[in-house]
Structure 1
Amino acid sequence: MSPAATGLEDQGPVALFGTSADPPSCGHRSLLAGLAATYPLVATWASDNPFKAHGAPLDVRARLLGTVVAALNRPGLRVEQGLSSPRAIETLERAGALWPGRELVFVVGSDLVPQIPRWYRAADLLGRCRLAVVPRQGWPVAPADLQPLRDLGGRVELLPLSIPATASSAIRQRARREQVPAELWPELIQHNLYGLSTPP
């Protein structure tokens, strides 16, 4: 039985997962389901990445992410759009105010591991949370990659989740049915998002 199914959402660690959700992919859906089976409470949100050009406005991406979360229908999995910030430390500060006294687990894909030591106030960030790394295909994690995080005081763990090799960038270039959660197609087509006007 998953932690979320035991009525323990009000205790234990809180997993935090921000994503550009541009658009949410089947990989995002699988990851959220895996997190919901691992942690009693999972908070997710759509974010603006200052280093990326986005295919849809933030409010649209947040709505699409909410559609995926609603379709998963997992206790303890929720969208907390108020956590969204270009700076991860600000997200953690907001999460700490929402859930005082709870352990915070910041979830990232393995592709981000080399960047984290260069993030704004990286040492403060790593001191306030546990870092959970999700392996992404094409981005293997070696022990040497994690050492700089541990040198900054990070408590790092690898999550044993198997995530489909789908990427939002690939969907924006050429969407295929197996890449996009079925619950998103009506909205994507209705609003002609990402250049989609008919099902693939």
Structure 2
Amino acid sequence: MQIALFGMSADPPHRGHGRVLRWLARHFDHVAVWAADNPYKQHQCPLRDRQAMLKLMIQDLPVPPGRIALYEELSHRHSLVSAQQARERWPQAELTLIVGADLVEQLPHWYKAAELFQLANILVMPRPGYRPSDQALAAIRQQGGQVAIAETLKTFEVSSSYYRQTEDAQALPTAVRAYINQRNLYPCTASSKEKQAIS
């Protein structure tokens, strides 16, 4: 059984995440998803809300039932711990950790990266404006990592930071947008947008 491990900050989850998940659902037997705190980022929204939004997005994806599921218990600031927990849950599966192309340069320096690479293969999702360097890919392989790039995935030019900067409602799935509006999340984004309009 081949399982994709896709942890993300999901701040908030957007249509680009949805496209990646649909692609993964076609290429893996199962996709395990969670939201987590990224030690390299400052998050705008509490983890519990990001998990809830991610769950809403997954429920609306047009994929076979059970192919993609949210595993809140896999959430950890270190991917190694998430991968260890996944290995305990699926001891016989082939695990593949999904990372965005913007993270590849950091990846060799992640917490106990060599141990992580022993637990899971690495699959890089393309992102507009980012191309993994040969040096970063070589550093992963030198630490024992098996790394590949999802060349057939068509990129989607949207990100969580793009939404926070523009409040472009089309960037988000309908259910996620409704959740944000209901709970008045990302109010700082709205305030900064108003200030820009005044100045």
- Which residue in 1 is equivalent to 2:173? 181
Residue deviations 1:108-143 (CA, integer Å, cap 9, x gap): 001111111111111111111111011111001343
Residue deviations 1:83-115 (CA, integer Å, cap 9, x gap): 011111101110001111111000000111111
Which amino acid letter does the alignment assign opposite residue 113 of structure 1? V
Which amino acid letter does the alignment assign opposite residue 117 of structure 1? P
Instruction: Provide the rounded CA distance (Å) in 2 between the counterparts of 1:73 and 1:176.
Output: 23
Match of 1:167 among 159, 169, 172: 159
Unaligned runs of 5+ in 2: 191-199
- 1:73 is displaced (CA, Å) by 4.7
Q: Note the aligned Cα RMSD (angstroms).
A: 1.5
- How many residues are treated as equivalent by the alignment? 186
Which amino acid letter does the alignment assign opposite residue 150 of structure 1? R
Instruction: Provide the rounded CA distance (Å) in 1 between the counterparts of 2:53 and 2:161.
Output: 16
Q: Among the aligned pairs, what percent are the same residue?
A: 36
Misfit runs of 4+, over 2 Å: 141-145
SS of equivalent to 2:147: strand
- Which residue in 1 is equivalent to 2:56? 67
Which amino acid letter does the alignment assign opposite residue 147 of structure 1? A
Which deviates more from structure 2 when the two are superposed, residues 47-56 or residues 24-33? 47-56
- Which residue in 2 is equivalent to 1:143? 134
- Which residue in 1 is equivalent to 2:18? 29
Instruction: Provide the rounded CA distance (Å) in 1 between the counterparts of 2:137 and 2:39.
Output: 24
Which amino acid letter does the alignment assign opposite residue 172 of structure 1? R
TM value normalised by structure 2: 0.89
Unaligned runs of 5+ in 1: 1-11
Any conservation in 1 of the 2:105–2:133 contact (CA below 8 Å)?
no
Match of 1:47 among 29, 36, 41: 36
Instruction: Provide the rounded CA distance (Å) in 2 between the counterparts of 1:85 and 1:73.
Output: 28
* Aligned positions of 1:48-197 closer than 5 A: 48-74=37-63, 75=65, 76-159=67-150, 160-195=152-187
Instruction: Provide the rounded CA distance (Å) in 2 between the counterparts of 1:189 and 1:148.
Output: 43
